[in-house]
Amino acid sequence: MESSAKIGMRITELRKAKKLSQYKFAIVSNVERTFLTHIEKGRKNISVETLTRILSGLEISFKEFFDSDLFSQIKDRTMIGRKVDIKTFGVSRKKPDSYSKEETLLSHYESLSNDSRKIAKEFFKNNYREKNGFQELTLNEALEQFLFEMKANVPFRGPEKGTEKFTFIDLFAGIGGFRIALQNLGGRCVFSSEYDKFAQKTYRANFGEIPFGDITKQETKSYIPKKFDLLCGGFPCQPFSIAGVTKKNALGRKHGFEDEKQGNLFFHIAEIIEKHRPKVFFLENVKNLVSHDKGNTFKTIRETLQDLGYSFHTKVLDGQNFVPQHRQRTFMVGFDTRIYNYTEEFEFPTMPEKRIYELKDIIEDKVDKKYTLTDHLWTYLFEYAAKHREKGNGFGYGLFDKNNDKVTRTISARYYKDGAEVLIKQRNKVPRRLTPRECARLQGYPEQFLIPVSDTAAYKQFGNSVVVPLIQSIGSNIIDAL
């Protein structure tokens, strides 16, 4: 059997083991569906770059992929485009492939200006038309079919253009928690921005859209449509969070607005609000934002937005009213006073008496043994907690029994390190971490949400995300007031 055929058979075997259709797997691995079909049938040689994307989608390394009887006689791996030393190439790449500006524009095609559409259309013509078998169609017909197929099989398409109740832009989008909530309310996203490449990958897999990158760059801002109804975003919270401030103080680093990398990102939001004047903004940050720098940080934010001519509603709400996780966050909502003149009928929602589900509902009985802590790590966490208890500090792990405990601690972006915030008891074993899927549930993400990245990246992404049903509850009251 030729090596390209063996590669194809192995990919098909592993894809089916994960119960992924070719459509979904093409999206997850960032490989065109038609090309993936040819690869699986052994009709195409595969480059190192493409195989890297596929293995990332399968969440396995090169070594694991080639550890099969199919490849027992293959010495040099020349079938993957060029000779590769498996030992040195080794595991999946540390960084996912960066998306080009043209690819990003193409995924935003419906919301682009005419000039940007010309760039996206030319890129499609030169890179995708022939690959997807659209030669017999006109360029416009081929592009329309391509865009339809690109989003046809993602879990969260949102309303079609012209059928939406409102439009919004998704800043500091992360993996799309705000977007799911607002799409559920009838909103159509017309622009998204997210700097992290791994988060972009997850966003693309679930929405069929590649977020634009660095929002501090004027070029990125130039792609924002002139008009939209709502601006939403959970701007980076590390400069203001209790944990972030404590860490930065210990390292002698600046925090809050003095953090040059992250602390001043709020002012880019203000700039966009001033230029585009959406009817309403909807922002989220950590609870500590209110008290940071003796209240001066929050005062600056409030006054900046009010000076732009917006009302300012704020409240600290806890996600545990919807999901079994104690997660307090500061929410800020403001309406354009030129339109509403402070007469909008908006109030933050009353919290429900019963959660959507309990801890016992989201914890799986059987998980891979890799999520169980090592004896060494468990001993370290146990002794670390005991040492701080003696000093009267609250530092330490959080250990939970799914049948007896109701609410966990807050998961954060550092969860991948040791899982200390939320550990799950196991009978006759040391505790285990949550799985990425359990983290998704703890944040209220639907079961069909795709997780196309490694566990490490997934933990960071869900730790940085929002409680989706809480966002939707607030969003519902906002839309009623529009």
Residue among 286, 232, 294 at smallest CA distance from 262 = 286
Report residue 343 as tokens. Answer: 């007469």
CB atoms within 10 A of CB 202: 25
In eight-state DSSP terms, residue 397 is: -
427-464: burial string, b at 16+ Cβ within 10 Å, e else: eeebbbbbbbbbbbbbbbbeeebbbbbbbebbbbbbbb
- Contacts (Cβ under 8 Å, ≥6 apart) of 254: 248, 260, 263
CB 408 within 8 A of CB 400: yes
* Alpha helix ranges (H) inside 174-295: 177-184, 197-207, 218-222, 242-250, 265-276
In whole angstroms, what is the distance from residue 459 CA to residue 324 CA?
Answer: 17
Using the Cα atoms of residue 226, residue 229, residue 233 and residue 235 in order, give the sign of their dihedral. positive
Alpha-carbon distances of 436 from 53, 371, 420, 421, 459, rounded to whole Å: 20, 10, 15, 14, 6
Residue among 323, 284, 330 at smallest CA distance from 443 = 323
| E strands in 58-142 | none
Which residues are known to be catalytic?
237
In whole angstroms, what is the distance from residue 430 CA to residue 418 CA?
Answer: 13
Question: What's the start-to-end Cα distance of the chain, in Å?
Answer: 63
- Kindly give the interhelix angle for 197-207 and 455-463, rounded to the nearest 10 degrees: 80
Residue among 416, 435, 414 at smallest CA distance from 424 = 435
Alpha-carbon distances of 195 from 201, 253, 355, 377, rounded to whole Å: 11, 22, 33, 32
CB 54 within 8 A of CB 11: yes
- Per the rule left: phi > 0, alpha: psi between -120 and 50, beta: everything else, 133 is left
- CA angle centred on 117, ends 128 and 112, rounded to 5°: 120
Report residue 67 as tokens. Answer: 């550890």
Residue 29 belongs to what H/E stretch? Answer: helix 22-29
